[in-house]
Amino acid sequence: MRSRTLVGLAAFGAVAVLTALVVLLSPPAGSAERGDLVGSWRSHQAGALTLRADGTLTAVRVPTAFAADDERPTAWFTGRGTWSLKRKPKLGHQRIRIENEAGETYEVSIAGEGARDGLFIKPPGDTATQFRFKKTL
């Protein structure tokens, strides 16, 4: 009986330690002010996004749709539009709402406090794939 109790306590302890590690090592949910976002952002996949203080934007090859099998982009937004900063949710990343000239809307997530870790677009579903944008100087 005593050995069962010890095994149970050890298993509980291991789960608690693993849970704490996941929480501590997970990046904090991103948030930003409008001023943090104004400027030019580039991705290593040749995408570019310029957000202006007046709420307008210019986009080049910003992914908008993804293949279901391998999560590669299948459609992109290139052109002009507008952007607005959505309210930060209690859990998760704050998002930027983008609208192109045709009225289609997309969302870009903010990584890190003040967008210090950039912006990203995540394909739908349970995936670790992200298309990241870093601010250029």
- Sign (positive/negative) of CA torsion 100, 80, 121, 28? negative
Alpha carbon of 74 to those of 8, 52, 67, 71, 136: distances in Å?
49, 27, 6, 9, 25
Give the tens place of pLDDT for each residue, 92-114.
Answer: 999 999 999 999 999 999 999 99
Task: Cite the DSSP H helix spans in the chain.
Answer: 2-25, 34-37
- pLDDT higher than 70, residue 18: no
Residue carrying structure tokens 């299948």: 74
- As a whole number, mean pLDDT of residues 20-34 equals 64
User: By C-alpha distance, which of 28, 49, 53, 67 is closest to 132?
Assistant: 49
Residue carrying structure tokens 């903010």: 110
pLDDT band at 91 (very low <50, low <70, confident <90, very high): confident
Note the pTM of the prediction, 2 decimals.
0.77
Q: How many CB atoms lie within 10 A of CB 77?
A: 22
Residue carrying structure tokens 């996949």: 45
